[in-house]
């Protein structure tokens, strides 16, 4: 069942990433809706101020946003690049802990140039995640698989690979689980139902998102347009069907909506998003 409904604030309200005022405005905008969890990233903010803003909500700190902004790669074949990534993510992790975050989300980083290096990079990724765990042992870690060949070229990646690394880390006591993003499944060329069946045993967090795989489209790749957009993979019915699948499950999930604001007018984008996706915002 869906215990928590979430929104990826940093996608819908990019200004929420750049200071406490932007984060406050974003939280004010969503306060009228049935959203009890937020996924956020904020630069230059005091953890005390963030904690005060988030006191009534569960939260997930998006270490993956720092990775994207700085090109941090915890699976890099180069030790100095891994150390750089772990250092920055550890800083984020400690900030997240001070704000009372309920989980910390990362991605694997870019896959190596040579496919034959995948396995050793998976070992380095596991080592980097273990180092993050040792820095803040009580913080649950969420690993989000991404595309392999379209835009960000993540190492993880395919559902079976993702499940295997999570299970190996769980076996040594790391509190880690997967984020299942339905748009990333499409970008990986995986069937949605088959990918979910593989991922479900180690997943408690889902992103409802769309993508366009037509290379001629300006929204090609990981741009997360609205459901039902021309050329998009998923219709509103597809997304609602998957949300209903989660609600009928006996396990507990966080279902997060992730649409990326493509321009500077966040207010109008959010109004359009609510009107277009009312089945998510107004569903109890």
> At 195, which CATH number?
3.20.20.150
φ/ψ of 123, rounded to 5, equals -65, -40
Measuring CA to CA, how many Å separate 112 from each of 52, 81, 273? 41, 13, 36
Task: Please state the domain count of the chain.
Answer: 1
Nearest residue to 142 via CA among 58, 228, 19? 58
pLDDT (average), residues 276-281? 95
Can you give the residue range of the structural domain that contains 221? 2-281
Task: Give the tens place of pLDDT for each residue, 112-157.
Answer: 999 999 999 999 999 999 999 999 999 999 999 999 999 999 999 9
Q: Mapped to the 3 state alphabet, what secondary structure does the chain carry? A: CEEEEEEEHHHHCHHHHCCHHHHHHHHHHHCCCCCCEEEECCCCCCHHHHHHHCCCCEEEEEHHHHHHHHCCCCCCCCHHHHHHHHHHHHHHHHHHHHHCCCEEEECCCECCCCHHHHHHHHHHHHHHHHHHHHHCCCCCEEECCCCCCCCCCECCCCHHHHHHHHHHHHCCCCCEEEEEEHHHHHHCCCCHHHHHHHHHHHEEEEEECCCECCCCCCCEECCCCCCCCCCECCCHHHHHHHHHHHHHCCCCEEEEECCCCCCCCHHHHHHHHHHHCHHHHCCC
Q: What CA–CA distance (Å, rounded) separates 68 from 49?
A: 24
* Mean pLDDT over the full length of the chain: 97
Task: Tell me: pLDDT of 22 over 60.
Answer: yes
Nearest residue to 121 via CA among 151, 96, 91, 85? 85
Task: Tell me: pLDDT of 104 over 60.
Answer: yes
Q: What per-residue confidence (pLDDT) applies to 282? A: 83
Q: What per-residue confidence (pLDDT) applies to 283? A: 59
Task: Give the tens place of pLDDT for each residue, 223-246.
Answer: 999 999 999 999 999 999 999 999
Task: Tell me: pLDDT of 95 over 90.
Answer: yes
Q: How confident is the model at residue 284 (pLDDT cuts 50, 70, 90)?
A: very low
């Amino acid at each position: 069942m869906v215990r928590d409904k979430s929104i990826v604030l940093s996608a819908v309200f990019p200004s929420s990433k750049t200071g406490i005022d932007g984060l406050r405005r974003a939280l004010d905008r969503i306060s009228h809706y049935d959203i009890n969890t937020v996924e956020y990233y904020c630069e230059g903010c005091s953890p005390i101020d963030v904690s005060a803003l988030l006191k009534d909500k569960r939260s997930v700190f998006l270490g993956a946003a720092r990775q994207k902004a700085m090109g941090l790669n915890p699976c890099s074949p180069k030790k100095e690049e891994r150390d750089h990534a772990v250092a920055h993510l550890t800083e984020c992790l400690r900030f997240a802990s001070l704000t009372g975050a309920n989980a910390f989300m990362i991605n694997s980083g870019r896959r190596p140039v040579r496919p034959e290096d995948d396995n050793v990079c998976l070992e380095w990724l596991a080592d980097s995640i273990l180092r993050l765990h040792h820095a803040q042992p009580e913080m649950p870690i969420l690993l989000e698989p991404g595309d392999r060949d379209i835009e960000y070229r993540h190492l993880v990646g395919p559902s079976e690979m993702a499940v295997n690394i999570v299970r190996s880390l769980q076996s040594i006591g790391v509190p880690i689980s997967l984020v299942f993003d339905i748009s990333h499944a499409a970008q990986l060329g995986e069937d949605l139902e088959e990918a979910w069946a593989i991922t479900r045993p180690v997943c408690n967090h889902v992103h409802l998102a769309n993508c366009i795989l037509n290379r001629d489209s300006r929204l090609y790749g990981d741009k997360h347009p609205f459901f039902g957009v021309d050329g998009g993979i998923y219709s509103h019915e597809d997304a609602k069907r998957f949300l209903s699948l989660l609600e009928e499950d006996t396990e507990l999930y966080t279902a997060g909506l992730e649409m990326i604001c493509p321009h500077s007018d966040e207010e109008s984008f959010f109004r359009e998003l609510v009107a277009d996706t009312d089945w998510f915002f107004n569903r109890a």
